[in-house]
Chain A
Amino acid sequence: MKEFRSRILLIVAAVAFSVYLLYPTYADYKNNKEIKAKLVTLKDSILKVNPKITEDDLEKRLSFLEDSLVVNNETYKEDREKRIKLGLDLQGGMYLVMEVNTAKLIEKLAKDPDEAFKQVLKSANKEAKKTDEDFVSIIARKFAEKKIRLSRYFGSIREDDETIIKRLKAQEEDAVKRAIEIINNRVNQYGVSEPSIQSQGARRIIVELPGVAKEEEAKRLLQGRALLEFRLVKESNFTIPIMNKIDEVLAQSLYSTDSSDTAVNDSTSALDSLLTDQQKADDMQKKHPFYSLAWINTQSPYADAFVSAKNKAKLDNYLSRPEVKSVIPDNVQFVYSAKPEVNKNGEKIYRLYLVNSKPELTGGVIVDAQANIDPQTTSPIVTMDMNSEGAREWARITGSNIGKRCAIMLDGFIYSAPTIQGKIPSGRSQITGMGDMDEAKLLEIVLKAGALPAPVEIIEERTVGPSLGQDSIRQGLFSTVVGFLLVALFMMVYYNKAGTIADMALFFTVLFILGVLAGFHATLTLPGIAGIILTIGMAVDANVLIFERIREEMATGKTAKASIANGYQQSYSAILDSNITTFFTGIILYQFGSGPVQGFALTLMIGIVSSLFSALVITRVVFDYLVSKGAKINIG
């Protein structure tokens, strides 16, 4: 017995450890039953108190209660954290791959971007759509191809490309990291249990939201950018000439072929009175295509253009024409107001402002935000506090621009453009112009959580409904049990007593796989279950190799003890070589796959290791023990 002691101890320890690791999974299963029972009584009491509650609200209340039950009970909480987690394909939920559009970030960082820069950016953008490489590397390569030094657009003239690339890369990485942090914040505020947010590659973020089936809600939460900017509005003596120019250029390019017609019309001014309003409007549009869509209030000191909602698309189209772009200076741009005003005819009118392209200050300096009702105007406002650096900057900007207007822009739209009355030293500022208190509140949340440094795009989205997950679990469990029983039965029939020992080892193999999965906090996916089933079929291999070898040894007339010793000895190299090569493919599979496939690769690898342990240690001890007791070995 003594010679087996250490090995038996090892086996007992391994089994005990697996059971210990698996216990929380079992406990969590039991806890869930308890929680469900409690929820039923809670549901009844809610219905009693409030019989008219809508189904949706009831559901929300209940899921909230469920969460609080788990959170407030330490054992529940611990068990849940330590159980084997189920993948999204088994429990249902959303899986999203998002990509941070760092091209936009680089574009923003560039100083004095010219035509050449825009071209490079465009081709780099095209390439970025195909690969996962970081954007800085791509654009740096493009510049190198064109033999343009990066210092022309980034950093100072004395810096070499390498330093600039290094710095830009750091900025890009930082942007992705910040995006992850912000998304993390938002998801936590939203209250999903066990979300997972990870980065992948250079620019990607993988978000897993278990149990979430409301796609719209989730996407909205993740993608909202909340980019806050303070930009100076151009004064009318700057804006009006530009607008005149645009009008002129448009009239020329759109209607230049009609110039002869216009001449005819002029000469027949006697007929003018006969023209209908429609024709007059047409005429106006031909002569002043810009001003016919964007009206200027000549009484106002500001040069804000008013655009009716129905004309917006057309005007956008005009403004994006190359000949129009060429007359708008690079350092300014037209921006719409976020919300339309409604005039007395019930038409929705947007304001179009001409503002600096470069923001004076961005939302990064905001440390706190508060939605309120302004007691004077009774309209909703959001008050913001800035950090000291921002406050200093804000004081300087407001101090040197008194009398001018500063637009407060969020995600590319202007919320308000108040006139700067005087220097603001405190770093406090206000946003007005929200439609209602809701909007103000939403703004408050996004300002607090922070702005995404660059837009994020969803490039892959997978939603699994809860019923499909349950079906998969049921099918997976059923297959596992059937697979196990069939293989076990076959082994017993074919190898008799030895087969029974191998079956015991097989059982422990499965136990070890599950234990290690729980210990690693790994996620069990549907392919992972498939991996376990496959392992059940393949795990007997080591035992089969050994048994067949022992049979061969016995056939040569050796004693049982010698046959067993030799059988094991001779099988080692085959077992190791074959399993190591399979293990390699497991590693490669793990590298290749994502989510579910990784779960499969992981179970496969754990399966290989634990089946080796079962075959080489557990069955061996049993055999050695039986031989030492003088029992007859029966290998079928």
Chain B
Amino acid sequence: MRIFKQLDYDFLGKRKMAYVLSGTLLLIGILSLAFHGLELGIDFKGGSEIALQFDKPVDIGEIRSYSDEIGLGKVEIKTFGGETGVLIRTELQTVPHDSYREFLNVIDKKIDELLPGVEKQIVDTSEIEVVYNFPNPDTTNYLNNALFKAGFQTTKFSEESNNTKIVIGVGVADIIQEKLREKFPENPFKVLKVDLVGPKIGKELKLDAVIAVFLALLVILVYLGFRFKFVFAIGAVVALFHDVLITLGLFSLLYGVSDWLNLEISVNVVAAFLTLVGYSINDTVVVFDRIRENLKIHKTGDLGKIINRSISNTMPRTIITSFTTLLSTFVLLIFGGDVLRGFAFTLFFGVIIGTYSSIFVASAFVYDYVTKSKKRISF
């Protein structure tokens, strides 16, 4: 089967149109980035996040309307992998004072409910846990299991047979769980994951991510400058900037449009951006390689013609590889689950824009630069 037979098309002739298109996309992207901003995930922002899976479908709106009552200030609530999954996030890492005390009451009440009239005593409290003491080991063991089953994070103070103390977690995630359990007694849930990220980690990661992307661009610049000509290296990096910026712009623009597509910047998404850089450069290099080859053969040929011919020559490969890569990222986007969706989306869109840019941005940049500066390039 063949899609293109001896393609010969004037790609460079259409570059002005491409510039307008790219410029518009970039402008929209940058405007959106400036005004709408990017939504950073917990990896970068820090805070607490908890994902729950209910037994029966839940109305996300109902949970949202209830979020004020949780008593943790601003709480974000989203779906997580289907209609029974819920993701709850807050920027808090420790529980505010009032909620803490209220939560202790809840624990007290629960203990009274499980074993009415049991003698209990709080022997120690800290920001994240509270230690209870009970009269005898049997009660302690019973309550430890019963409370754990009721959803509290409990542990025996020690594993000795005559232990009478229980440690109970009173973190942000614990309070959220308790509140929801109270609110939806007929719809139990299990905890899928809990993430707590300190502010320091987030800040470092932000810096690391930016450094990683720029380092990747720099390494590519140097390698291509060395293997090709410097103007090619710059063309490639300009194309990469173009790809990354437009994809980022899309992230900013589409954030919050659909609950299914979670477009916040997480570590995985940054990894996807770096991969996008890798893919896009791969594509560009194949075109450049052909230009280099054709320039070697036709030393005195017209650069525009040579570039056009090179793009035409490599066009079948460009289309087919993009297609297979799109195929696999599409599968990932649809079937890969919630955790990988942002990642797959970045790559899916990135492959399209990367393919476009290696034809209309990188090569066109080289052409314009060389003709403007009236230099000749030869290998």
* Interface set of A (CB-CB < 8 Å, partner B): 54-56, 89, 97, 129-132, 214-217, 219-220, 436-439, 441-442, 458-465, 467-468, 471-472, 475-476, 478-479, 482-483, 486-487, 490-491, 493-496, 526-527, 530, 533-534, 536-538, 540-541, 544-545, 548, 551-552, 555, 570, 573-574, 577-582, 584-586, 588-589, 591-594, 596-597, 600-601, 604, 636
Known A214-B155, A465-B190, A491-B324; contact A582-B2, beta-carbon cutoff 8 A: no
* B145 lies within 8 A of A530 (CB): no
Q: How far is the CA of A461 from the CA of B171 in the complex (A)?
A: 12
One of A438, A581, A582, A593 near B165 (C-beta < 8 A): A438
Q: Which residues of B contact A129 (CB under 8 A)?
A: 200
* A574 lies within 8 A of B223 (CB): no
* A56 lies within 8 A of B325 (CB): no
One of A214, A464, A580, A592 near B153 (C-beta < 8 A): A214
Q: Which of B8-16, B26-34, B340-348, B370-378 contacts A (4 or more CB under 8 A)?
A: B340-348
Q: How far is the CA of A567 from the CA of B10 in the complex (A)?
A: 25
* B328 lies within 8 A of A487 (CB): yes
One of A220, A487, A582, A592 near B209 (C-beta < 8 A): A592
Q: Which residues of A contact B281 (CB under 8 A)?
A: 578, 581-582, 585
Q: Which residues of A contact B347 (CB under 8 A)?
A: 534
For chain B, residues 142 to 175, give those with C-beta under 8 angstroms from any C-beta of chain A: 144-145, 148, 153-155, 157-158, 160, 162-165, 167-169
One of B157, B204, B293, B321 near A131 (C-beta < 8 A): B204
* B193 lies within 8 A of A464 (CB): yes
Q: Which residue of B lies closest to A597 (CB)?
A: B271
A214-B148, A487-B327, A496-B1 given. 17 additional CB < 8 A pairs? A55-B145, A215-B194, A460-B197, A460-B198, A463-B195, A487-B324, A494-B1, A534-B332, A538-B325, A538-B328, A573-B293, A578-B289, A584-B278, A585-B281, A592-B208, A592-B274, A593-B267
Q: Which residues of A contact B167 (CB under 8 A)?
A: 216, 220
How many A-B Cβ pairs are below 8 Å?
257
* B326 lies within 8 A of A537 (CB): yes
In whole Å, how far is B134's beta carbon from the nearest beta carbon of chain A?
Answer: 12
Known A132-B204, A462-B194, A592-B209; contact A476-B162, beta-carbon cutoff 8 A: no
Q: How far is the CA of A15 from the CA of B114 in the complex (A)?
A: 61
One of A441, A468, A483, A582 near B193 (C-beta < 8 A): A468
Q: Which residues of A contact B223 (CB under 8 A)?
A: 580-581, 584
* B274 lies within 8 A of A533 (CB): no
Known A490-B323, A591-B212; contact A527-B194, beta-carbon cutoff 8 A: no
3 shortest interchain CB distances as A-B pairs:
A537-B328, A592-B212, A585-B278
Q: How far is the CA of A581 from the CA of B81 in the complex (A)?
A: 35
Q: How far is the CA of A536 from the CA of B332 in the complex (A)?
A: 12
The tally of residues in B whose CB lies under 8 Å from a CB in A reads: 91
One digit per residue, 1 when the CB lies within 8 angstroms of any chain A CB and 0 when it does not, for chain B 301-336 equals 000000000000110110011011111110110011
Most chain-A CB neighbours within 10 Å: which of B6, B164, B268, B314?
Answer: B268
In whole Å, how far is B126's beta carbon from the nearest beta carbon of chain A?
Answer: 10
One of B192, B201, B224 near A97 (C-beta < 8 A): B201
Most chain-B CB neighbours within 10 Å: which of A220, A438, A476, A482?
Answer: A438
Does B227 count as interface, using CB distance less than 8 angstroms?
A: yes
* A486 lies within 8 A of B274 (CB): no
Q: Which residues of B contact A441 (CB under 8 A)?
A: 158, 160
Does B216 count as interface, using CB distance less than 8 angstroms?
A: yes
Known A438-B157, A534-B328, A636-B2; contact A600-B339, beta-carbon cutoff 8 A: no
Q: How far is the CA of A588 from the CA of B222 in the complex (A)?
A: 14
* Interface set of B (CB-CB < 8 Å, partner A): 1-2, 6, 51, 53, 81, 128-129, 141, 144-145, 148, 153-155, 157-158, 160, 162-165, 167-169, 190-198, 200-201, 203-204, 208-209, 211-212, 215-216, 219-220, 223-224, 227, 267-268, 270-271, 274-275, 277-279, 281-283, 285-286, 288-290, 292-293, 313-314, 316-317, 320-321, 323-329, 331-332, 335-337, 339-340, 343-344, 347
* A537 lies within 8 A of B324 (CB): yes
Q: Which residues of A contact B331 (CB under 8 A)?
A: 479, 482-483, 486, 533
* A475 lies within 8 A of B286 (CB): no
Q: Which residues of B contact A468 (CB under 8 A)?
A: 51, 53, 192-193
* B325 lies within 8 A of A494 (CB): no
Q: Which residue of B lies closest to A493 (CB)?
A: B1
Q: How far is the CA of A490 from the CA of B329 in the complex (A)?
A: 15
* B339 lies within 8 A of A545 (CB): no
In whole Å, how far is B288's beta carbon from the nearest beta carbon of chain A?
Answer: 8
Q: Which residues of A contact B128 (CB under 8 A)?
A: 219
Q: Which residues of B contact A491 (CB under 8 A)?
A: 324
Q: How far is the CA of A545 from the CA of B315 in the complex (A)?
A: 10
Q: Which residues of B contact A601 (CB under 8 A)?
A: 271
One of A55, A89, A97 near B339 (C-beta < 8 A): A89
Q: How far is the CA of A536 from the CA of B325 in the complex (A)?
A: 8
One of A216, A461, A483, A495 near B168 (C-beta < 8 A): A216
In whole Å, how far is B268's beta carbon from the nearest beta carbon of chain A?
Answer: 6
Q: Which residues of B contact A490 (CB under 8 A)?
A: 323-324, 327
Q: How far is the CA of A204 from the CA of B192 in the complex (A)?
A: 27
One of A465, A482, A527, A580 near B271 (C-beta < 8 A): A527
One of B1, B168, B313, B327 near A486 (C-beta < 8 A): B327
In whole Å, how far is B250's beta carbon from the nearest beta carbon of chain A?
Answer: 19
In whole Å, how far is B358's beta carbon from the nearest beta carbon of chain A?
Answer: 10
Interface of A is mostly: helix
Most chain-A CB neighbours within 10 Å: which of B203, B270, B326, B337?
Answer: B337
* B169 lies within 8 A of A215 (CB): yes
* A436 lies within 8 A of B198 (CB): no
Q: Which residues of B contact A496 (CB under 8 A)?
A: 1
* B282 lies within 8 A of A216 (CB): no
Most chain-A CB neighbours within 10 Å: which of B154, B224, B271?
Answer: B271
* A584 lies within 8 A of B219 (CB): yes
Q: Which residues of A contact B220 (CB under 8 A)?
A: 581, 584-585
* A467 lies within 8 A of B155 (CB): no
Q: Which residues of A contact B328 (CB under 8 A)?
A: 483, 486-487, 533-534, 536-538
In whole Å, how far is A526's beta carbon from the nearest beta carbon of chain B?
Answer: 6
* B204 lies within 8 A of A582 (CB): no
Q: How far is the CA of A463 from the CA of B335 in the complex (A)?
A: 23
In whole Å, how far is B199's beta carbon from the nearest beta carbon of chain A?
Answer: 9
Q: Which residues of A contact B51 (CB under 8 A)?
A: 468
* A545 lies within 8 A of B153 (CB): no
* B158 lies within 8 A of A439 (CB): yes
Q: How far is the CA of A110 from the CA of B324 in the complex (A)?
A: 64
Known A460-B201, A490-B324, A577-B289; contact A438-B160, beta-carbon cutoff 8 A: yes
Q: Which residue of A lies closest to B285 (CB)?
A: A578
One of A465, A537, A548 near B316 (C-beta < 8 A): A548
* B204 lies within 8 A of A588 (CB): no
* A472 lies within 8 A of B224 (CB): no
Q: Which residues of A contact B201 (CB under 8 A)?
A: 97, 459-460
Q: How far is the CA of A471 from the CA of B340 in the complex (A)?
A: 12
* A540 lies within 8 A of B275 (CB): no
Q: Which residues of A contact B192 (CB under 8 A)?
A: 464-465, 467-468
One of B169, B279, B317 near A544 (C-beta < 8 A): B317
In whole Å, how far is A405's beta carbon from the nearest beta carbon of chain B?
Answer: 25
Q: Which residues of A contact B216 (CB under 8 A)?
A: 584-585, 588-589
Known A494-B320, A555-B6, A588-B274; contact A465-B191, beta-carbon cutoff 8 A: yes
* A436 lies within 8 A of B164 (CB): yes
Q: Which residues of A contact B169 (CB under 8 A)?
A: 215-216
In whole Å, how far is A36's beta carbon from the nearest beta carbon of chain B?
Answer: 21
Most chain-A CB neighbours within 10 Å: which of B162, B224, B335?
Answer: B335
Q: Which residues of A contact B293 (CB under 8 A)?
A: 570, 573
